[in-house]
A and B are shown apart, each in its own frame.
Chain A
Amino acid sequence: MADHRLPENEIALDWLTSMTLIRRFEERAGEQYARGKVGGFLHLAIGEEATIVGAVAALRPTDYMIATYRSHGQALARGSEPGRVMAELFGRVDGLCRGRGGSMHMFDRERRFMGGFGIVGGNLPLAAGFGLTSDYLGSDDATLCQFGDGATNQGTFGESLNLAALWRLPVVFMVTNNQFGMGTSLERHSAQTDLQRKGEGFGVPGMECDGMDVIDTWAVTKEALRIAREERQPVLVEAINYRFRGHSIADPEDYRTEEEVLAWSKRDPLVTFGDRLVAEGVLSDEQRQAIDLEATETVDAAVAFAEASPEPQPSSLYDDVYVLSDQVRGWYSADHRGAELRKGEELS
């Protein structure tokens, strides 16, 4: 890892604020899950905040960002309202996706956050598709696609990297190597453990960043985006990090030792970055506490917002199955069983 100077004070504080918000949001989401407010699976990004914030900070607002089923943090970093992210976890109408997607499927079109995706490796072709649109329309928008180390073993990894290189698409593929594909450690799931090299055979050069360091992640991602945008050369960036919690909330974590978790926790990106800002005089201890308090208050408000948001109406069950037009007049017109029971879209 390069020894980077701090960015301007305002930017440094902004990054710390963003990472703190993600941490407190994820902790609260875990609590709400334990209380039964959140259903399904819940994959938390605690420990991975620097990878998220550093990468998103390198993007322009018009660039496309796409991620995985672990993507509350990406939505928050991209600027989605915390209340709407929490409301999505609660399955409420004010959720980012109106309660249709849940934890694994966040999406915020306005902010060009193009989704969390539940299928490992499923988002790489989509990212190449965004790159194709940018290329086709002659814009200089770029795409950042994050996926886990496990996804590098999927067919779509090789297929998408090959096509992106072949067609010179402006896409940065970022593998967030958090050391485990669910509960299977890197050396037990990938013959090539130096993941940044996995794109070489497809014509995609690799770069590496310290995913526990927000500045390094930002600097490397920014350079990778420049190469993709200006040289029309896709890049594979490996961000090495660690998730402090299990794969999901339902993970007993039998596959790793407490010592290992403890060793990594000494590199907690929130602590190390905050300590450095204090040490270099950018931040006082009081300000640091204030940032934390503000994040907690934001998350409190997000939970209150989600609690207050209504449950979706049963009559909305068939909304948005199709784009309606003269030829598709409602869900039931696509499958004609009992129109009276399945109005849905016509009512809304």
Chain B
Amino acid sequence: MAEMRYREALNEALAEELERDPNVYLMGQDIGVFGGAFKVTAGLMERFGEGRIRDTPISENTIVGIGVGSAMTGLRPVVELMTINFSLLALDQIINHAAHMRYMFGGQVSVPIVVRMPQGAGHQLGPTHSHSFEALYLHVPGLLVAVPSTAADAKGLLKTAIRDDNPVIFIEHESLYSQRGEVPDDPDFTIPFGLAAIRREGTDVTIIGISRMAQTAERAAEQLAAEHGIEAEVIDPRTLRPLDLDAILESVAKTNRCVIVEEGWPHGGVGANLAALIGEQGFDDLDAPVGRVTGVDAPMPYARTLEQIAFPHEQQVIEATLALFGDRRRASRG
């Protein structure tokens, strides 16, 4: 094991896959000479050359489209969009083309592209630069969606994404790039999609955290244990398509309560989807309605005081969890 930052783990995954397969190439704005807006691709152009680490103009839809075209004809592009906010400009190529091509043409072609991009609020960047869009991409059949929250997951999932023959939306988080974590040294280390991680074991409630919110959920769980005697099981699904629903249902069958934490908007969100799935398949196990903690139903404000209350923190997770224990709390007070 080696300790490294999330961005370094991503860099290592890219370097190893570039080394392993000559048809893997990288493309994006400022990824070469500049080393990436978040320095994820630092040093790769020097090592692999301009033919494989390609700086592009600011043309998101066409960058993704060129990636799709090259993937249809034998290459394995990894496209970096500077942030997920700009992926809105590329939705036509992502949804109408990358996601549907194989189905639309009766299986004659596959599109092994990875679109990497970070998301998230917290840096006072206002409404256009603070989005969390995992729900948007989760919505689309044909796409796989990964949301790594640790350095090890970032590396292991990215390597799997590059090797997979389906289009993968790989959602990083701006606030995680500098975080350190233990990462296995083995160059063949990968993490399969569709395998959730149990971050903390517990018996009283299941808290599911998406992307960065897996960490928020873990910290909230420690406080719930210390201050309220509630032992929460924290699950990080790591990929939303495919989804490890078995792990979630198994946990809910044990705890009988569930809270879902995400940074994106509530309507049509990941939590809404998971709550529906748990309701459909785990209804008999539930002692309380599934709770959701989400970003507020508004664009992201710039002012720090407003921004900090516009996306979830530990306190909201704790409150939402306690709300599921209404009877017990009343009993303990009595």
Q: Does B59 contact A (CB under 8 A)?
A: yes
Distance to closest chain B CB from A236 (angstroms): 16
> Measuring CB to CB, which residues of chain A are less than 8 angstroms from any residue of chain B?
64, 95-101, 105, 107-109, 114-115, 117-119, 122, 124-134, 136-137, 155-156, 159-160, 162-163, 166-167, 319-323, 325-328, 331, 333-338
Q: Does B137 contact A (CB under 8 A)?
A: no
Distance to closest chain B CB from A278 (angstroms): 40
Q: Mark B20-49, 1 if CB is under 8 A from A, else 0.
A: 000101000000000000000000000000
Contact B160 A327 (CB under 8 A): yes
> Complex formed: what's the CA distance from A107 to B101 in Å?
10
Q: Which residues of A contact B166 (CB under 8 A)?
A: 322-323, 328
Contact B64 A125 (CB under 8 A): yes
Distance to closest chain A CB from B210 (angstroms): 16
Q: A155-B61, A323-B165 are in contact. Are A130 and B106 (CB under 8 A)?
A: no
Contact B74 A122 (CB under 8 A): no
Which stretch in B89-97, B213-221, B228-236, B307-315 binds the other chain? B89-97
Of A108, A126, A163, A319, which is in contact with the most chain B CB atoms at under 10 Å from its CB? A126
Contact B65 A160 (CB under 8 A): yes
Contact A129 B70 (CB under 8 A): yes
A interface secondary structure, majority: loop
Q: What residue in chain A is nearest B145 (Cβ atoms)?
A: A334
Contact A130 B144 (CB under 8 A): no
Contact A130 B160 (CB under 8 A): no
Contact B104 A97 (CB under 8 A): yes
Contact A129 B68 (CB under 8 A): yes
Q: A119-B96, A136-B51, A162-B57 are in contact. Are A126 and B72 (CB under 8 A)?
A: yes
Contact B108 A162 (CB under 8 A): no
Q: Which residues of B contact A107 (CB under 8 A)?
A: 104-106, 108-109
Distance to closest chain A CB from B165 (angstroms): 4
Q: Does B175 contact A (CB under 8 A)?
A: no
Contact B245 A336 (CB under 8 A): yes
Q: Which of A114, A119, A125, A334 sits near B242, CB closer than 8 Å?
A: A334
Q: Does B159 contact A (CB under 8 A)?
A: no
Q: Which residues of A contact B101 (CB under 8 A)?
A: 115
